[in-house]
Amino acid sequence: MNGPSAGDNSLRNAGGTLGNSVDQQRGTVHHSESETTTSVVVNDPPPPPAPPQEVITVQPEPAAVWIYGFGAFAGDRYAWVPGHWEVPPPRCRMFVAPHWRRHRGSYVYIQGYWR
Protein backbone atom coordinates (compact mmCIF):
# COMPACT_ATOMS: atom_id res chain seq x y z
CA MET A 1 0.00 0.00 0.00
CA ASN A 2 1.30 3.47 -0.87
CA GLY A 3 0.35 5.45 2.24
CA PRO A 4 1.34 9.03 2.88
CA SER A 5 4.46 10.07 4.71
CA ALA A 6 5.60 13.30 6.28
CA GLY A 7 7.57 14.17 3.14
CA ASP A 8 4.76 13.36 0.72
CA ASN A 9 4.06 16.47 -1.38
CA SER A 10 0.50 15.32 -1.98
CA LEU A 11 -0.33 15.99 1.67
CA ARG A 12 -1.39 19.33 3.00
CA ASN A 13 -2.61 20.10 6.48
CA ALA A 14 -6.32 19.71 7.01
CA GLY A 15 -8.15 22.41 8.89
CA GLY A 16 -11.71 22.68 10.07
CA THR A 17 -14.08 21.80 12.81
CA LEU A 18 -15.96 18.99 14.41
CA GLY A 19 -18.93 21.15 15.25
CA ASN A 20 -18.41 21.59 18.97
CA SER A 21 -19.89 24.37 21.09
CA VAL A 22 -16.88 26.67 20.60
CA ASP A 23 -17.25 26.33 16.83
CA GLN A 24 -20.97 27.02 17.13
CA GLN A 25 -20.24 30.25 19.02
CA ARG A 26 -17.62 31.28 16.45
CA GLY A 27 -19.83 30.42 13.50
CA THR A 28 -17.34 27.87 12.13
CA VAL A 29 -19.69 24.88 12.06
CA HIS A 30 -19.82 23.09 8.71
CA HIS A 31 -23.08 21.64 7.38
CA SER A 32 -22.08 19.85 4.19
CA GLU A 33 -19.38 17.68 2.70
CA SER A 34 -18.43 20.41 0.24
CA GLU A 35 -17.59 22.73 3.16
CA THR A 36 -15.38 20.12 4.83
CA THR A 37 -13.43 18.84 1.84
CA THR A 38 -9.76 19.36 2.55
CA SER A 39 -6.72 19.72 0.35
CA VAL A 40 -5.36 16.41 1.67
CA VAL A 41 -5.14 14.12 -1.35
CA VAL A 42 -3.48 10.70 -1.41
CA ASN A 43 -3.29 7.79 -3.83
CA ASP A 44 -4.19 5.27 -1.12
CA PRO A 45 -5.58 6.47 2.21
CA PRO A 46 -3.92 4.94 5.23
CA PRO A 47 -6.10 2.64 7.29
CA PRO A 48 -7.64 4.36 10.31
CA PRO A 49 -6.59 3.26 13.78
CA ALA A 50 -8.49 0.44 15.42
CA PRO A 51 -11.14 1.94 17.67
CA PRO A 52 -10.57 1.41 21.37
CA GLN A 53 -13.36 0.15 23.59
CA GLU A 54 -15.64 3.09 24.34
CA VAL A 55 -17.93 3.60 27.28
CA ILE A 56 -20.97 5.69 26.49
CA THR A 57 -21.52 7.89 29.50
CA VAL A 58 -24.83 9.22 30.79
CA GLN A 59 -26.43 11.71 28.40
CA PRO A 60 -25.74 15.13 29.96
CA GLU A 61 -28.87 16.75 28.56
CA PRO A 62 -31.82 15.68 26.39
CA ALA A 63 -30.59 17.46 23.25
CA ALA A 64 -27.10 15.93 23.36
CA VAL A 65 -26.09 13.43 20.67
CA TRP A 66 -23.41 10.76 21.16
CA ILE A 67 -20.59 11.06 18.63
CA TYR A 68 -18.62 7.83 18.39
CA GLY A 69 -14.85 8.13 18.50
CA PHE A 70 -13.00 8.34 15.20
CA GLY A 71 -9.55 8.76 13.72
CA ALA A 72 -9.15 12.33 12.47
CA PHE A 73 -6.47 12.58 9.80
CA ALA A 74 -4.01 15.36 10.65
CA GLY A 75 -1.17 15.95 8.21
CA ASP A 76 0.46 12.55 7.96
CA ARG A 77 -1.27 10.45 10.63
CA TYR A 78 -4.49 9.93 12.49
CA ALA A 79 -5.29 11.43 15.88
CA TRP A 80 -7.93 9.58 17.88
CA VAL A 81 -10.92 11.71 18.88
CA PRO A 82 -12.72 9.89 21.71
CA GLY A 83 -16.47 9.45 21.70
CA HIS A 84 -18.35 12.24 23.43
CA TRP A 85 -21.67 14.00 23.79
CA GLU A 86 -22.40 17.20 21.86
CA VAL A 87 -25.45 19.36 21.45
CA PRO A 88 -25.97 19.69 17.69
CA PRO A 89 -25.92 23.12 16.06
CA PRO A 90 -29.32 24.60 15.24
CA ARG A 91 -31.21 22.71 12.50
CA CYS A 92 -28.77 19.75 12.66
CA ARG A 93 -29.50 16.26 13.91
CA MET A 94 -26.66 14.02 12.78
CA PHE A 95 -22.87 14.10 12.83
CA VAL A 96 -21.16 12.67 9.74
CA ALA A 97 -17.78 11.25 10.75
CA PRO A 98 -14.63 12.12 8.80
CA HIS A 99 -13.98 9.88 5.80
CA TRP A 100 -12.08 9.51 2.53
CA ARG A 101 -13.89 10.12 -0.79
CA ARG A 102 -12.62 8.88 -4.16
CA HIS A 103 -12.06 11.86 -6.46
CA ARG A 104 -10.36 11.92 -9.87
CA GLY A 105 -8.24 8.83 -9.35
CA SER A 106 -7.14 9.74 -5.80
CA TYR A 107 -8.75 10.10 -2.38
CA VAL A 108 -9.56 13.36 -0.67
CA TYR A 109 -10.10 13.67 3.06
CA ILE A 110 -13.49 14.92 4.23
CA GLN A 111 -13.68 16.25 7.77
CA GLY A 112 -16.59 15.53 10.07
CA TYR A 113 -19.64 17.77 9.88
CA TRP A 114 -23.20 18.19 11.12
CA ARG A 115 -26.26 17.86 8.95
User: What is the tens place of the pLDDT at every residue in 74-111?
Assistant: 878 899 999 999 999 998 888 989 988 888 888 888 88
CA 108 to chain centre: 12
Is residue 82 in some structural domain?
Answer: yes
Is residue 16 in some structural domain?
Answer: no
Question: Which residue segment(s) compose the domain that 80 sits in?
Answer: 21-114
Is residue 1 in some structural domain?
Answer: no
CA distances from residue 82 to 25, 51, 111 in whole angstroms, order as listed: 22, 9, 15
pLDDT tens by residue, 25-53: 444 455 555 555 565 677 888 888 899 99
Is residue 102 in some structural domain?
Answer: yes
Is residue 57 in some structural domain?
Answer: yes
Is residue 84 in some structural domain?
Answer: yes
pTM across the whole model? 0.64
- Domain total for the chain? 1
